[in-house]
Amino acid sequence: MNQVVNYITEEKRKELKVELEELKGPKRKEILAALKYAKSLGDLSENAEYHQTREDQGKLEERIVKIEQILQSSQNFSRRGGDVVEVGSKVIVQKLGTQTKNVGEDIIYTIVGSEEADMTKGKISHRSPFGEALFGKKKGENISFKTPGGVVNYKIINVS
């Protein structure tokens, strides 16, 4: 099976470990206490509190499994430097074209693993169409990729 590598920063790894401890400890105990209380209310077939608590318990356990999977399957990345776009790179790009907003403006993005992607913070996943188009490219190169609105073109101004 061809497994794709997932990347996370050491900061994100620590954040996930803290969340996992919280979920496995206090949150799990809280749900179990709520479940015990809901059971004490009587008839479980029409006990909304019981059913809601069981649903919450399922979501909690699902999140625990997901975090454990992320921690086991992800590799930390550290920026090696250089002029080639890779995970951890800060990339300055300019949108090319004539009839779209932001044409000619410098836009800064950081290439991150999919777990840390957040467009509002300028962090794009190396697996996104934009991230894939940038990956492995150098300063001065033009890239293009498809979006629902059509093909968009960018020029790489700088890589750091």
pLDDT of the chain along its 160 residues, tens only? 345 668 888 888 999 999 999 999 999 999 999 999 988 888 888 888 999 999 999 999 999 999 999 999 888 876 666 788 988 889 999 988 765 566 668 899 999 988 889 989 999 998 899 999 999 999 999 999 998 888 889 999 999 8
Count of other CB atoms within 10 angstroms of residue 141: 13
Distance CA 90, CA 84 (A): 10
HSE on the CB side for 109, CA within 13 Å?
28
The structural domains of the chain, with segments of one domain joined by +, span 6-76, 90-159
What is the fold of 6-76?
Answer: Helix Hairpins (1.10.287)
If we measure between CA atoms, which residue out of 109, 119, 69, 72 comes closest to residue 87? 109
Whole-number pLDDT of residue 1: 37
90-159 under CATH 3.10.50.30, yes or no = yes
pTM for the predicted model, two decimal places: 0.69
Three-state DSSP state, 105: coil
Whole-number pLDDT of residue 131: 92
